[in-house]
């Protein structure tokens, strides 16, 4: 009889523990099981995404992203050469890296790639003519252009805001463009002129006299 009483007591205690556990979990959101999510399955219940946009729409929308303009230069056995490039960005501080994206149809990029070095010239507002001349094919782009060489030998155009001298670190595929990573060897600010901008297929002016004087608020989160 004592054994039966002990068994009933243990059964009652277990029941109370189960009840307490259930109450403690009441109102809490259920956690997904470990097997409920797999990489690449997020959003599978959402509506189907549209197909790729047509090139004209792609260009029109992306032209609303205002950017600066650069001319990328080098010197090979044929002489100095260069090309206008809008797709340019800083990439890393440590090590110092930049990236640019020349089109695969460019006739200038193969010459730059063959040398393994290049200089990014950051254009000033008054250099629209240089911008369009270096964007052309077949012309002698350096005809009438004053420049001097960086320590690495690549041309720095007179009048630019600054330059970034690089060697080719890596080249990746990017659809109809190359993604070029450059290791920065030398760089400098060479002018206080306003930048040449590119926005909606034109070159707007920087009207704000205080542009470039935003106080530093700490390292950005990007």
What DSSP string runs through 89-140? EEEETTTTEEEE--BTT-SSHHHHHHHTEEEEEE-BTT-HHHHHHHTSSSS-
pTM confidence score? 0.68
Q: Please list, in sequence order, all residues whose beta carbon lies within 8 angstroms of the beta carbon of residue 37, skipping any fewer than 6 positions away.
A: none
Whole-angstrom Cα distance, residue 196 to residue 59? Answer: 20
Which CATH code fits 56-198? 2.30.110.10
- Which tens digit of pLDDT belongs to each residue from 31-80? 445 455 555 555 556 666 777 776 776 566 655 555 578 999 999 999 99
Peptide bond into 66 cis (omega under 30): no
- Report the candidate in 188, 127, 201 with the shortest Cα–Cα distance to residue 162: 188
Give the whole-angstrom CA distance, residue 69 versus residue 203.
Answer: 10
**Distance between CA atoms of 41 and 53, rounded to whole angstroms?**
23
Domain definitions of the chain by residue range: 56-198
Q: What is the mean pLDDT of the chain?
A: 77
């Amino acid at each position: 009889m004592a054994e039966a009483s002990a068994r009933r007591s243990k059964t009652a205690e277990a029941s109370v523990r189960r009840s307490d556990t259930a109450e403690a979990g009441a109102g809490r959101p259920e956690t997904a099981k470990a097997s409920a999510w797999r990489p690449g399955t997020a959003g599978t219940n959402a509506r189907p995404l549209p197909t790729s946009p047509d090139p004209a729409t792609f260009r029109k929308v992306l032209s609303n992203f205002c950017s600066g303009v650069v001319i990328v230069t080098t010197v090979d056995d044929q002489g100095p050469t260069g090309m206008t490039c809008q797709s340019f960005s800083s990439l890393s501080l440590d090590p110092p890296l930049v990236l640019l994206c020349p089109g695969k149809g460019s006739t200038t990029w193969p010459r730059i790639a063959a040398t393994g070095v290049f200089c990014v010239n950051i254009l000033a507002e008054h250099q629209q003519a240089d911008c369009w001349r270096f964007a052309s094919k077949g012309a002698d782009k350096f005809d009438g252009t004053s420049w001097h060489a960086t320590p690495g030998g690549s041309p720095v155009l007179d009048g630019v805001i600054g330059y970034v001298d690089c060697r080719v670190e890596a080249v990746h595929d990017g659809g109809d463009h190359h993604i070029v990573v450059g290791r920065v060897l030398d760089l400098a600010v060479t002018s206080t002129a306003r930048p040449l901008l590119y926005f909606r297929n034109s070159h707007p002016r920087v009207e704000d006299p205080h542009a470039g004087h935003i106080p530093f608020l700490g390292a950005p989160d990007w």
